[in-house]
């Protein structure tokens, strides 16, 4: 029997002889490589924290001692040591999440999937436990990349002010988050002593006995203490150790090859073209230069690409400053992470009418990374931002065209949203109404389908089903969904029913705005909107999540049929 198979929880781990731990570490690494190669996921971060996680669970008594992982993409080893060794469906529907999950285990205190928040969680947990009389330590595990985020320093300021309260901060220092860590503060962790925090380290993060000694010493400290551990991302996997991103996140080895066009690559190529034409264009990202497609721009124009670390708020306000100084910044960020900088977009960029373009990669339903990474909030949340213009390209051709249009706007923010992965084949327009593209036009019709962004192909499939059922259908792609084209109400007035389809939250989304636009123009045509519910969507493939949300051609057509009758009066029974 393997050592790993004998571990059903931390109690079993603590009963092992020290001589068995190297074998356990090797078995964990082999398990991780096999599972992640099969399902995809975060490989490099977990290979780097094997010994550290073993030591944490041998020294601390989880869940009595609360262990909080910042981001959580290094929590696979933690899962293995807390009774979750079935990785057959890792990140797939019905299987384990790729992040900590309260529904999976009491050992997962925080479902922490956005960076730089663990110290704030730990501060709150420690205060709450002390006031409630609950025993046990609070341990926060943060990467050096997280130290580039402002919340970490806000939390440290408060933690240092309470010197009589025990709290252990374990810094996993591998010199990188997605890529090499940027910024000066991360290079000087002994600054923590100047804040009044005790400091232990640096410790070899792969020397398990040394880690146990350091963590045991930290556990006995009466006040807050920082344990500085030096680890190697991708440890034990030669290819990962050599790779630029140390296999931070990998795809399954049997994943389908990419299609003819990829959303991120299309953005990357067009931005380089625009950068060559316009020296005022600069690029800004928050520790995700390669993931958001800015690497080619950075290589071509190194002085014009700014990676600010895991600091989305700073990225957006700095972009406002650059715009005010005469540049046109393009801020590339995942859709889910722009939520963190809403105030800066509203009050620093929009209020000051700054010409900043936001490129929202991984917008809409992303799938495998689960609730925290689905970018479904932007179409609802950002509707309230005055002056903001939002583009939703239906294919890579439109992405390129609309990026060109966006950077021409100099007196207001613009935003382009697009999903993850393959952009599919281009969908040609058959006509135009105003600035909107018509994708299906049978003349005056029964149903007008307003297609939002990458769901154009789905909307055309719905139209085919309705047409086969005897209805006339127009499919329109507004291209820019905020503000809506003034020609839309007139087009809607020539139909019996308007159907909107978007891969964002229905409440306050494009469908709601279409209904409001029709009402404002006294166009009394019923609007049936389809989108995602106000829920945190569990992990699964993009298609599976869309299906759970009812965003399939069959479901939309079925409900649209139900909303029509042959007498000419829409019904909604």
Each residue's pLDDT tens digit, 141-158: 998 778 888 888 899 989
- pLDDT per residue as tens digits for the range 231-287: 988 886 766 656 555 556 656 655 555 556 899 999 999 999 999 999 999 999 998
Residue 38 binned pLDDT confidence (cut-offs 50, 70, 90): confident
Residue 573 binned pLDDT confidence (cut-offs 50, 70, 90): very low
Tokens of 348: 């620093």
Helix (H, G, I), strand (E, B) or coil at 120: helix
Residue 196 binned pLDDT confidence (cut-offs 50, 70, 90): confident
Question: Was 112 annotated as part of a binding site?
Answer: no
Tokens of 138: 């609070």
233 is known as an active-site residue:
yes
Question: In whole angstroms, what is the distance from residue 98 CA to residue 96 CA?
Answer: 6
Question: In whole angstroms, what is the distance from residue 250 CA to residue 497 CA?
Answer: 44
- Provide the b/e sequence for 392-424 (b: ≥16 CB within 10 Å): bbbbbbbbbebbebbbeeeebbbbbbbbbbbbb
- Do the two domains 263-417 and 431-562 of this chain adopt the same fold? yes
pTM given for the model: 0.85
pLDDT value of position 211: 96
269 is known as an active-site residue:
no
Residue 567 binned pLDDT confidence (cut-offs 50, 70, 90): very low
Q: How many CB atoms lie within 10 A of CB 265?
A: 14
Question: Was 312 annotated as part of a binding site?
Answer: yes
Question: Was 175 annotated as part of a binding site?
Answer: no
**431-562, which class in CATH?**
alpha beta
Question: Was 239 annotated as part of a binding site?
Answer: no
- pLDDT per residue as tens digits for the range 254-268: 555 555 689 999 999
Burial class (CB in 10 A: 0-12, 13-18, 19+), 87: buried
Distances (CA, A) of 300 to 139, 266, 269, 283, 294: 43, 16, 11, 12, 10
Enumerate the H helices of 48-139 as residue ranges. Answer: 50-59, 76-81, 118-132
All structural domains of the chain with their residue ranges:
4-242, 263-417, 431-562
Four-way CATH pick for 263-417: 3.40.50.970, 3.40.190.10, 3.90.1150.10, 2.120.10.30: 3.40.50.970
Question: Was 174 annotated as part of a binding site?
Answer: yes
The answer to which of 33-37, 111-115, 117-121, 158-162 has the lowest mean pLDDT is 111-115
312 is known as an active-site residue:
yes
Question: In whole angstroms, what is the distance from residue 204 CA to residue 172 CA?
Answer: 10
Closest CA to 308 of 116, 111, 75: 116
Question: Was 487 annotated as part of a binding site?
Answer: no
Catalytic residue among 51, 208, 261, 312: 312
Domain 4-242 has CATH 3.40.50.970: yes
Question: In whole angstroms, what is the distance from residue 493 CA to residue 471 CA?
Answer: 16
Q: Would the CA dihedral through 159, 163, 167, 170 be positive or negative? A: positive
Q: How many CB atoms lie within 10 A of CB 91?
A: 24
Tokens of 66: 């609360």
Closest CA to 72 of 372, 310, 377, 367: 372
- pLDDT per residue as tens digits for the range 512-563: 999 999 999 999 999 999 999 998 888 888 889 999 999 999 999 999 999 9
Question: Was 540 annotated as part of a binding site?
Answer: no
Tell the residue number behind the tokens 């029974």, with chain if given.
573
The stretch 170-194 carries a mean pLDDT of 65
Tokens of 386: 């005055």
Catalytic residue among 84, 92, 176, 340: 340
Catalytic residue among 58, 91, 233, 304: 233
Question: In whole angstroms, what is the distance from residue 379 CA to residue 481 CA?
Answer: 9
pLDDT value of position 214: 96
């Amino acid at each position: 029997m393997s050592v790993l198979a004998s571990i059903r929880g931390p109690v079993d781990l603590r009963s092992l002889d020290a001589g068995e731990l190297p074998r356990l570490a090797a078995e964990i690494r082999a398990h991780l490589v096999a599972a992640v190669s099969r399902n995809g996921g975060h490989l490099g971060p977990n290979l780097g924290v094997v010994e550290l996680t073993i030591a944490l669970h041998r020294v601390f008594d989880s869940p009595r001692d609360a262990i909080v992982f910042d981001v959580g993409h290094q929590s696979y080893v933690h899962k293995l040591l807390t009774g979750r060794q079935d990785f057959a469906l890792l990140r797939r529907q019905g299987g384990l999440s790729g992040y900590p999950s309260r529904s999976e285990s009491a050992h997962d205190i925080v479902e922490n999937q956005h960076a730089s928040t663990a110290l704030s969680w730990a501060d709150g947990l420690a205060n709450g436990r002390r006031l409630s009389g609950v025993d046990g330590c609070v341990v926060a595990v943060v990467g050096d990349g997280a130290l580039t985020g402002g919340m970490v320093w806000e939390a440290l300021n408060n933690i240092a002010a309470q010197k009589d309260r025990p709290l252990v901060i374990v810094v996993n220092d591998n010199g990188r988050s997605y890529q090499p860590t940027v910024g000066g503060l991360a290079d000087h962790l002994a600054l923590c002593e100047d804040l009044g925090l005790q400091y232990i380290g640096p410790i070899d993060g792969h020397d398990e006995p040394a880690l146990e000694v350091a963590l045991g010493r930290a556990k006995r400290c009466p006040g807050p203490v920082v344990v500085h551990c030096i680890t190697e991302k991708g440890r034990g996997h030669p290819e990962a150790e050599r790779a630029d991103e140390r296999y931070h996140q990998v795809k399954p080895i049997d994943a389908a090859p990419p299609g003819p066009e990829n959303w991120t690559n299309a953005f990357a190529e067009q931005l380089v073209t625009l950068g060559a034409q316009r020296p005022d264009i600069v690029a800004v990202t928050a520790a995700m230069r390669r993931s958001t497609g800015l690497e080619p721009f950075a290589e071509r124009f190194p002085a014009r690409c700014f990676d600010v670390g895991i600091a989305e708020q700073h990225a957006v306000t700095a972009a406002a400053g650059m715009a005010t100084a005469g540049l046109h910044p393009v801020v590339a960020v995942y859709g889910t992470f722009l939520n963190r900088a809403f105030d800066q977009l509203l009050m620093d960029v929009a209020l000051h009418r700054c010409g900043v373009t936001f490129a929202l990669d991984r917008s809409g339903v992303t799938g495998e990374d689960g609730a925290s990474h689905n970018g479904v909030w932007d179409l609802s949340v950002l509707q309230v931002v005055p002056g903001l213009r939002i583009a939703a390209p239906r294919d890579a051709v439109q992405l390129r065209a609309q990026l060109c249009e966006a950077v021409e706007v100099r007196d207001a923010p613009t935003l382009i949203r697009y999903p993850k992965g393959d952009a599919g084949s281009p969908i040609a327009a058959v006509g135009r109404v105003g600035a909107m593209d018509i994708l299906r036009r049978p003349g005056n019709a029964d149903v007008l389908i307003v297609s939002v962004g990458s769901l154009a192909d789905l909307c055309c499939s719905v139209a085919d089903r309705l047409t086969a059922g005897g209805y006339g259908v127009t499919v329109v792609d507004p291209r820019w969904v905020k503000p809506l084209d003034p020609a839309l109400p007139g087009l809607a007035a020539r139909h019996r029913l308007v159907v909107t389809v978007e891969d964002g939250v229905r409440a306050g989304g494009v469908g709601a705005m279409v209904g409001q636009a029709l009402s404002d123009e006294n166009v009394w045509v019923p609007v049936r909107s389809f989108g995602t519910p106000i829920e945190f969507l569990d992990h699964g493939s993009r298609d599976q999540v869309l299906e759970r949300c009812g965003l399939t051609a069959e479901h939309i057509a079925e409900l649209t049929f139900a909303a029509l009758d042959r007498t000419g009066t829409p019904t909604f029974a």
